[in-house]
């Protein structure tokens, strides 16, 4: 029945079927970006916008990703123990230079081609930090103390502001240092062999100064897509042991690897990697596999196993078959980190030139 006595009401309703009166159409409120998302986007855009435009870097996101994958494929072949031919190694090095070299790879990462390089992996870590309340127990004793307010002349009570200690994080291989820029409660120290921002310190992980007291130590050391880029198999293992030196007794180590390093390697699997971590003084707290990456958050063991059991882990086949990769982590306790591994490629290249 029409909502009015007008004889034309029924005709009006028929002429506009399903149409609501204007006053019933409520405008949907616009979604606002959270302060964290906005600050993270701003921090990353500042670095990208300030970086000089390199003509060798594709403007298209898909082409950037393809470029990065090409670099990954070359690095994988260079690190393979089966690569013994100086000529073949020289071809790979030439191909890497043709693509623009390491600098071009890092520039492409900064410009957003490799989302997993920091951006996506940092989000997973931040979620675990919040879930596990990492770093909050440091302030537990201070928070238990009774806090008294200051009473003003008019009787108003003014409560003192309690300053929380920021969570301290050492980000190794940070490139431009934007991964944790959007989280003001995280105090990040960023290091990289080839930094792309002034606040990123130029250091090899093994040369970065070791803290002497708990005030200088970190809650978390992040090795996101770092171990797989280390050419020395022994140094990969040394990284797991060396990380202990920078952490508080209850500190955490965060590791991100390409998923095929564990699912398609001849020498490494999830179970074997977990055993290696246990042997080097770590308890697995959280782990997660995405379509392309594997994420591991581990914490330091307590007591006698704090720095590992001293076991040697050699290259041992865990799965056979064609099409496997050769990624492996070797543990040699009591030995020093290998030096000059990055320059070994130049030696192979010169050897190939002499043979020609």
How far apart (Å, rounded) are the C-alpha atoms in residues 352 and 349? 5
Task: Please report which helix (H) or strand (E) contains residue 258, including its range.
Answer: strand 247-258
How far apart (Å, rounded) are the C-alpha atoms in residues 285 and 131? 12
Q: What is the dihedral of CA 296, 301, 306, 308, to 10 degrees?
A: -50
How far apart (Å, rounded) are the C-alpha atoms in residues 298 and 274? 10
How far apart (Å, rounded) are the C-alpha atoms in residues 207 and 126? 27
| H helical segments located in 111-193 | 119-132, 140-144
Read out DSSP for 178-208?
-TTTT-TTEEEEEEESS-SSTTSEE--GGGS
Decide if 342 contacts 75 (C-beta within 8 A): no
Decide if 134 contacts 167 (C-beta within 8 A): yes
Cβ neighbors of 50 (< 8 A, separation 6 or more) are none
**Number of H helices and number of E strands within the chain?**
11, 9
Determine whether the annotation assigns residue 231 to a binding site: no
Decide if 252 contacts 126 (C-beta within 8 A): no
Determine whether the annotation assigns residue 192 to a binding site: yes
Binding-site positions for S-adenosyl-L-methionine read 173, 192
Binding-site positions read 173, 192
């Amino acid at each position: 029945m029409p909502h009015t006595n007008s004889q034309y009401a029924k005709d009006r309703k028929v002429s506009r079927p399903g149409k609501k009166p204007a006053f019933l159409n409520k405008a949907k409120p616009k979604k606002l970006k959270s302060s964290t998302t906005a600050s993270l986007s701003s921090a990353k855009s500042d670095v990208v916008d300030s970086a000089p435009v390199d003509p060798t870097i594709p403007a298209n996101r898909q082409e950037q990703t393809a470029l990065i994958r090409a670099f990954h494929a070359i690095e994988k072949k260079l690190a393979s123990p089966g690569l013994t031919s100086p000529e073949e190694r020289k071809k790979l090095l030439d191909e890497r230079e043709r693509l623009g070299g390491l600098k071009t790879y890092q520039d492409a990462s900064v410009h957003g081609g490799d989302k997993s390089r920091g951006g996506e992996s940092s989000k997973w870590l931040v979620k675990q930090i919040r879930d596990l309340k990492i770093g909050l127990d440091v302030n537990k004793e201070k928070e238990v103390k009774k806090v008294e307010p200051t009473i003003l002349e008019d009787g108003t009570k003014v409560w003192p502001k309690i300053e929380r200690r920021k969570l301290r994080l050492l980000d190794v291989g940070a490139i431009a240092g934007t991964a944790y820029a959007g989280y003001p409660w995280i105090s990040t120290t960023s290091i990289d062999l080839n930094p792309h921002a002034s606040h990123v310190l130029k250091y090899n992980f093994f040369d970065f100064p070791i803290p002497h007291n708990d005030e200088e130590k970190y809650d978390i050391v992040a090795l996101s897509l770092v171990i797989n880029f280390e050419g020395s198999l022994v140094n990969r293992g040394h990284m797991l042991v060396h990380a202990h030196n920078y952490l508080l007794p209850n500190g955490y180590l965060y590791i991100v690897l390409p998923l095929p390093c564990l699912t398609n390697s001849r020498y490494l699997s999830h179970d074997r990697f977990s055993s290696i971590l246990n042997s080097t003084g770590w308890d697995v707290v959280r782990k997660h596999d995405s379509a392309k990456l594997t994420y591991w958050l581990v914490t330091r063991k307590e007591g006698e196993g704090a720095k590992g059991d001293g076991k040697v882990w050699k290259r041992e086949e865990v799965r056979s078959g064609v099409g496997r990769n050769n990624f492996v982590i070797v543990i040699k306790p009591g030995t020093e980190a290998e030096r000059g591994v990055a320059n070994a490629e130049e030696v192979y290249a010169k050897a190939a030139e002499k043979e020609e």
